[in-house]
């Protein structure tokens, strides 16, 4: 078991046994269930799954992220994962508007109403730029999707390093293997006085001490090696509990899906400040939904020292 926090380096405690989502195992060409643990930092309250995804697993998940094959495999294991969730941020949608509005309000309330150059790291089609006065909109994204009007794409931050006023990194940090490396890279491309906006979900499962026991680990192993229908039934009950803010049931499934990391205000603030920034404004909506699923939303605006 890992004994250090990936965000601050302090000691961690195992709080639950877990299984890697079967759709990830299948889409990455693996047959046997993979088991892991959910850890929590005793200092900064950062929670994370011990297992970090391999290059093969990352490529299998994200090279065709939310594609038809991705949807088919995931939906076969999670029938509640509908098109409304898969396509929530595609095209023009209320979810895009809500996300943009949430970020815009944070920026404006901090006095940031105009920027010459804004870079959206992982910005898809360019649909998520805040509604402030922006002269140049750039996305750093591996996809070849058609971009929105007045948006350009670059392969890396280094190309535009010296002229960035604001980097947006929304709903990326929960997916990365190394949070410190990820944020260090972003911040290194900012000049002093430039800004970084980070947004993450607030979807850490609520668990009980039972989930960290050997008895639960044995039960989870039995469920994960039983029939697909039985696993889905236990997983569905767990999902329902999470949507209503309840703990994972005693016989439920603690599951590592594509979100490896769970941040709260304390952990994200401590991490960003440790890397040479000052927190200017934060906002949280724990009950925010995407495609009908309750995921929550935490936004943090920092300035580089």
Question: Is the pLDDT higher at 302 or at 127?
Answer: 302
Flag whether the pTM goes above 0.85.
Answer: yes
Structure tokens at 93: 């949608």
Specify the range with the lowest mean pLDDT, choosing from 157-166, 185-194, 286-295.
286-295
What is the structure's pLDDT at 244? 83
- Sorting pLDDT into bands at 50, 70 and 90, what band is 43? very high
The tens digit of pLDDT for each residue in 197-248 reads 999 999 999 999 999 999 999 999 999 999 999 999 999 999 899 888 889 9
Question: Is the pLDDT higher at 87 or at 292?
Answer: 292
What is the rounded distance in angstroms from the CA atom of residue 253 to the CA atom of residue 35?
11
Main-chain phi, psi angles of 250, to 5 degrees: -55, -40
Q: Are 102 and 298 in contact (CB under 8 A)?
A: no
For the chain, give the percent of residues with pLDDT over 70.
95
Distances from the Cα of 204 to the Cα of 41, 55, 207, 264, angstroms? 13, 24, 9, 9
- Sorting pLDDT into bands at 50, 70 and 90, what band is 145? confident
What is the structure's pLDDT at 52? 96
Q: Are 278 and 103 in contact (CB under 8 A)?
A: no
What is the rounded distance in angstroms from the CA atom of residue 67 to the CA atom of residue 85?
12
Ranges for all domains in the chain classified under CATH 3.40.50.150: 94-201+264-304
- The average confidence (pLDDT) of the chain is 92
Q: Average pLDDT of 147-168?
A: 89
The CATH fold assigned to 94-201+264-304 is: Rossmann fold (3.40.50)
What is the structure's pLDDT at 96? 87
- Sorting pLDDT into bands at 50, 70 and 90, what band is 61? confident
The tens digit of pLDDT for each residue in 242-289 reads 888 889 999 999 999 999 999 999 999 999 999 999 999 999 999 888
């Amino acid at each position: 078991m890992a004994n250090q926090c990936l965000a601050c380096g302090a000691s961690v405690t195992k709080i639950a046994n877990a299984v890697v989502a079967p759709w990830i195992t299948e889409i990455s060409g693996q047959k046997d269930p993979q088991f892991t643990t959910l850890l929590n930092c005793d200092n900064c309250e950062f929670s994370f799954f011990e297992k970090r995804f391999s290059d093969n697993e990352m490529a299998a998940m994200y090279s065709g992220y939310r594609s038809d094959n991705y949807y088919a495999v995931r939906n076969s294991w999670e029938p509640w994962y509908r098109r409304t969730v898969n396509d929530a941020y595609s095209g023009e949608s209320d979810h895009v508007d809500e996300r943009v509005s949430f970020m815009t309000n944070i920026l404006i309330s901090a006095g940031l109403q105009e920027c010459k150059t804004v870079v959206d790291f992982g910005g898809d089609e360019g649909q998520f730029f805040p509604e402030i006065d922006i002269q140049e909109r750039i996305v750093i994204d591996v996809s070849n999707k058609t971009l929105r009007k007045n948006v350009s794409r670059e392969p890396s931050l280094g190309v535009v390093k010296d002229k960035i006023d604001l980097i947006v990194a929304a709903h990326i940090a929960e997916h990365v293997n190394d949070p410190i490396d990820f944020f260090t890279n972003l911040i290194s491309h900012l000049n002093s006085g430039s800004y970084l906006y980070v947004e993450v979900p607030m979807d850490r499962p609520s668990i009980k001490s039972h989930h960290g026991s050997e008895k639960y680990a044995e039960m989870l192993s039995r469920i994960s090696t039983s029939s697909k229908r039985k696993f889905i039934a236990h997983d569905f009950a767990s999902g329902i509990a999470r949507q209503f803010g309840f703990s994972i049931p005693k016989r439920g499934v603690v599951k590592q899906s594509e979100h490896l990391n769970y941040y709260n205000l304390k952990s994200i603030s401590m991490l960003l400040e440790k890397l040479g920034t000052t927190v200017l404004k934060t906002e949280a909506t724990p009950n925010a939904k995407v495609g009908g699923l309750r995921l929550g939303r935490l936004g943090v605006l920092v300035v580089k020292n």
